[in-house]
Chains A and B, each alone.
Chain A
Amino acid sequence: DVKVTQSSRYLVKRTGEKVFLECVQDMDHENMFWYRQDPGLGLRLIYFSYDVKMKEKGDIPEGYSVSREKKERFSLILESASTNQTSMYLCASSLTGVPLFGEQYFGPGTRLTVT
């Protein structure tokens, strides 16, 4: 089974802190994604990566950056956390190409609270 793990289930940080969220997948997937999930808004894509050291902005990249130095690891960085970044953060990974197109495997999520 594909396994996507996230470094923390719950995290509490203070406004202005630099925050690192880590994600690791164990199935050699090319693509990795970071989403935030908010009630009534569904999942919104922050950044994604289709290869090591490659990244593309998603729909809401402002206030975030990412790093992918190894294929299995994709990090989300909040340079200076703000209260409006309090949310559930979900990491996902996937392979490229049909018939597995669109099949993303998700981690359990990190609930981040910024106070």
Chain B
Amino acid sequence: AQSVTQLDSQVPVFEEAPVELRCNYSSSVSVYLFWYVQYPNQGLQLLLKYLSGSTLVESINGFEAEFNKSQTSFHLRKPSVHISDTAEYFCAVSKETSGSRLTFGEGTQLTVNP
């Protein structure tokens, strides 16, 4: 079975500071990895994903994540956060053989303070 662990439940940072949200997964087979974001009072939306190819993937709003197979990690980073990045972030993993099923982590609440 595969599982996902998000190592921090809450991450408070100041505006324009860098941030890293940590995600580790466990799986005995190749996986696909995702980060979803949930803004207050909204459903989740896809932020970025790794399927294959370059291990560094980027989103349109400045986030990036690096797939590290040896450390089984997919940490999310942003060099300078904005107030509007305040949200809950979920890491998720899937195997191709599991169809479209995703296994989600527990979530990390990112709060950006002025």
Contacts and interface: CB of A to CB of B under 8 A. Distances in A.
Interface of A: 4, 31, 33, 35, 40-45, 48, 50, 58, 90, 92, 94, 96, 98-99, 101-109
Contact of A31 (B32, B41, B46, B100): B100
Contacts of B107: 40, 42
Contacts of A96: 99-100
B101 interface: yes
Contacts, number: 67
Contact of B43 (A4, A31, A44, A103): A4
Contacts of B26: none
Given A4-B43, A90-B43, A109-B43, A102 B105 contact: no
A50 B100 CA distance: 9
Interface in B46-105: 46, 49, 51, 90, 92, 94, 96, 99-105
Interface of B: 4, 6, 9, 32, 34, 36, 41-46, 49, 51, 90, 92, 94, 96, 99-107
A107 B42 CA distance: 8
Given A90-B43, A107-B43, A109-B43, A102 B102 contact: yes
B51 A90 contact: no
* Most interface-central of B9, B90, B101 (chain A CB within 10 A): B101
